[in-house]
Amino acid sequence: MSVALGTTRPLPVRTTPVGDPGDLLASLPRTAPYAWIRNGEGLVGWGEAARVAVPPGPGRFAWAREWLATVLGDAQVHDDVRTPGSGAVAFGSFTFDEDAHGSVLVVPRAVLARRDGQAWLTTVGDTPLETFTPVRDPGRISYGDGSLTAPEWQGVVARAARRIREGELEKVVLARDLVATTERPIDVRLLLSRLAARYPECYTFSVAGLVGATPELLIRRTGQEIESLVLAGTTARGTGAADDLARGAALFASAKDRHEHECAIASVRQTLSPLCSALTTPDEPELLVLPNVQHLASHVTGRLADGASVLDVVAAMHPTAAVGGTPTKTAIQVIRELEGMDRAGYAGPVGWIDANGDGEWGIALRSGQVQGRRARLFAGGGIMGDSDPAAELAEAQAKFRVMQYALEG
């Protein structure tokens, strides 16, 4: 059964303006840190005023919204800021596969936030002071195969590409995992600070042990306005400026990568159009250059027609073609048959929602599941009919480097 803590009586919630807190991540205690940070702005939280394990199944997002309505709707709120992200906020992580266990929502006891020149602190209930302990390095790190070895995974890619060429589907996204074991327990705060510093344009997140820095914004809802950043098509960074430019130009000209991107945009357009009174998608993608890779990227904007919450939009969008494939139902079945592992929260929605239904949710890419001295790292890529297994393995290895850097520094 799902368990909610602290919900036997209405939650007392108070939000007050504060001075600039500086580095938000530096304020986090070691216990149960929650985070959603981009370019130094966002929200961090700690403690648990309420927590629930969301039951798996096709209705899980609706179930989560009802739970939030009960917990946050009855809250006794004193909010002196009144902006998206103030008042009671829940952080959440949903598994990639709707049938998998592991989705969770948490209302922290304290949330410190900075956004658009404002900073505030929200407390829920009688929030005791947390003891701050110094951030500790994990020490020596060793890596081992996850669910499949590299050659085994290349074989999976080859089988998937063959099924695409045979006409079963257009695209499937395949992931693999890598296990890191450390000398000392992993301090999530260290990973967060390294990720936020190295990848400021990404969304650095932490929810219930799922930690990462994703470049992909699934959806942002601010009132009736929504935004999404679609990424599909990837190449590694070059060895120098000229090589970098050449790789970016080749990615932009690649028929395989452009088709993969067009599949992703068509999926988002088809999903969001019924929810929106207006929707804008670009005719051409842009090149998003990150420290380790380059992506084809498209910024989508729209206006909701019926006041749906951000979780309603997440429910409609997930899984996108960018992390599942095309057509989606067929791709999910192929993933279940071939991938050989449980993705857990990898490539699932991760983010936050407030009592008004505003929030930001990304796709949990470039991430790892951390517990004690063990971190299970994830990476993947879109497979097309002409995909080369060795090239796809190299792309996944490049994506692993994000979390390897977070661990190693």
Give the chain's largest Cα–Cα span: 62
The DSSP result for 131-150, as a single string, is PP--------EEEEE-SS-H
Q: Which of 48, 152, 216, 329 is catalytic?
A: 216
- The beta strands (E) that lie in 48-117 are given as 50-53, 76-79, 89-93, 104-107, 110-115
In degrees rounded to 5, what are phi and psi of residue 11? -75, 125
> What's the rounded Cα separation, in Å, for the pair 127 and 106?
15
**Can you tell me the distance from the alpha carbon of 213 to that of 91, in angstroms, rounded to the nearest whole number?**
15
CA 379 to chain centre: 12
User: Tokens at residue 276, please?
Assistant: 């929106």
Q: How far apart are CA 86 and CA 107, in angstroms?
A: 12
The angle subtended at Cα 17 by Cα 15 and Cα 21, nearest 5°, is 110
Q: 109: alpha, beta or left, given left = phi > 0 and alpha = psi -120 to 50?
A: alpha
Q: How far apart are CA 237 and CA 248, in angstroms?
A: 8
Contact yes or no for 311/353 (Cβ under 8 A): yes
- The answer to whether 171 is a known catalytic residue is yes
d(CA 45, CA 53): 18
Catalytic residue among 66, 98, 170, 171: 171
Closest CA to 317 of 265, 282, 383: 265
Any idea which residues carry the catalytic annotation? 171, 216
